Amino acid sequence: MSKLIISKRRIDGVMILDLEGGIKLGEENAYLHNTIRELVTAGEKKVLLNLGQVTKIDSSGMGELIAAWTTLQKAGGEVKLLHLTHGVEQLMLLTKLLTVFETYEDETDAIASFKSKTTDQVDAQIWKSADVSFS
């Protein structure tokens, strides 16, 4: 059995994965990897990883977070991080991954960030497709 527990919940169209335990080489990584792949296959585009209960993460686990980011980006979606523990935050700072991921301490703010970006993208598409002429 995996030492990583993943609980899924949805709020306002955002799939939130509450992670508890370690994200490290072995079945923990495979479990997270497979969960992300299943979500993307099911059409999920907005994923929030709650890392507040992550007790350990190794370099392989960091690689899995990057793989999740890449997988969702390729599928036209995005992944954001919530409640980084001090250790995870320090590791992400050292590896410069804080420049890649959007991170949040407040769940409501994190969920709202998906909405505002989607709205901005739709607005941009409307403006791009508008045929405006000034004669």
Q: Go through the domains of the chain in sequence order and give each one's CATH number.
A: 4-129 (3.30.750.24)
pTM: predicted TM-score of the whole model, two decimal places = 0.84
The confidence score (pLDDT) of residue 107 equals: 98
The arithmetic mean of pLDDT across residues 99-126, rounded, is 76
Give the DSSP per-residue string, 28-40.
Answer: HHHHHHHHHHHHH
The arithmetic mean of pLDDT across residues 36-43, rounded, is 97
Neighbours of 120 (CB within 10 A): 10
Query: Is the pLDDT confidence value at 53 over 70?
Result: yes
The confidence score (pLDDT) of residue 115 equals: 87
pLDDT band at 84, cuts 50/70/90?
very high
Where are the alpha helices (H) located in 55-106, listed in sequence order? 59-74, 86-94
Q: What percent of the chain has pLDDT over 90?
A: 82
The confidence score (pLDDT) of residue 52 equals: 97
Using CB atoms within 10 Å of the CB of residue 14, give its burial: 0 to 12 exposed, 13 to 18 middle, 19+ buried. Answer: buried
